[in-house]
Amino acid sequence: MASIPTLDGVRSRMVDTPRLRTHVLETGSDGDVVLFIHGNASSSTFWEETMLALPAGYRGLAPDLRGYGDTEDVLIDATRGVQDWVDDLLALVDTLGIERFHAVGHSLGGAVLFGLVAARPAAIRSVTMVAPGSPYGFGGSRPDGTPVFADGAGSGAGVVNPDFARLIGEGDRSEDNPQASPRVVMNSFYWKPPFRPAREEALLSSVLSEKVGPERYPGDAVPSENWPGSAPGVYGPVNAISARYAGDLAERFVAVDPKPPVLWVRGDSDQIVADQSFFDIAVLGGMDLVPGYPGAEVFPNQPMVSQVRDVLTRYADGGGRFEELVIEDAGHTPYVEKPEAFAAAFHPHLRG
């Protein structure tokens, strides 16, 4: 059923839930379930090797999120923040009769994890966040997590390179555009160059499987009187993880009871989720790459890693626990770049 060929040992199927028809990749047949949540501009394909490497006694389950891959094309209501995805995932595990599970999320999927834990903490055996997006949204927030502007200007669909979205929609597999070709972006930012994965073509197909359009990726934007002149609209994944709609996600996560243990894994060379992210428009403005930047006093860059650490520290202060693992010589996707180093921490964390 998968539009992208899978590795031997990975099964593909569609699951009808009360919310939507979800495409799922699976490994194993019994044991504790490990739910894998992919990031933006990717799909469940990114998790195949990690799922196949699970120890005996674990069953891997990796859905394509709403808006991605082979899952039914249903619009994302960005005004709900990550909640559409959270509700979809809970509908999936409920439909499959899964009462408890381990949860793993990468990038955007890591931001979704904050909401998933907040929604049903007792169901989650352990949490593994890989380069998670900040629970305060991606872009447009101050170090303490408050939005720079109430309308979320500086985050959301309006700050996405429109050529990148266009080329995804066109299925472009070239390297012709050094700033926007999906293959170039993937190999420049998803991992640390000069690394290129063995399954580069399948992973590129995964990037290209995202659903594109004004109400899909990246979503709609509205004019703003605030720099850089646009604010998030109401549809699409990038608006859903904007500063405008992040709301109290961090506070809800910190307050959960019970508190499942958290493993936080990141690469030391991540350029996407970083304290100086190359995808933060304030950083680009400070480099004179976006005109009209009002300066750091008005619009500071977002220290994403520090924000995640602060939230996890407060989570631990409230009775939870977390471990931070920094994998050397790795970028945004260390489980693809350094699978042995990732598994060395991930597998003991599952056994807990």
User: Domain containing 271 — which CATH number?
Assistant: 3.40.50.1820
Contacts of 74 (CB under 8 A, 6+ apart): 19, 20, 66, 67
Q: Is residue 138 part of a domain?
A: yes
- For the chain, the domain total comes to 1
Alpha-carbon distances, residue 197 vs 132, 295, 299 (angstroms): 21, 39, 37
- Angle among Cα 160, 163, 165 to the nearest 5 degrees reads 60
Distance CA 76, CA 280 (A): 22
Contact yes or no for 321/182 (Cβ under 8 A): no
Quote the domain boundaries for residue 211.
11-351
Q: Is residue 1 part of a domain?
A: no
Contact yes or no for 5/25 (Cβ under 8 A): no
Overall pTM surpassing 0.75 (yes/no): yes
Question: Which amino acid, 151?
Answer: D
Per-residue pLDDT of the chain (352 residues; tens, 9 = 90+): 799 999 999 999 999 999 999 999 999 989 999 999 999 999 999 999 999 999 999 999 999 999 999 999 999 999 999 999 999 999 999 999 999 999 999 999 999 999 999 999 999 999 999 999 999 999 999 999 999 999 999 999 999 999 999 999 999 999 999 999 999 999 999 999 999 999 999 999 999 999 999 899 999 999 999 999 999 999 999 999 999 999 999 999 999 999 999 999 999 999 999 999 999 999 999 999 999 999 999 999 999 999 999 999 999 999 999 999 999 999 999 999 999 999 999 999 999 9
- DSSP letter (8 states) at residue 142: -
Q: Is residue 134 part of a domain?
A: yes
Q: Is residue 221 part of a domain?
A: yes
Q: Is residue 4 part of a domain?
A: no
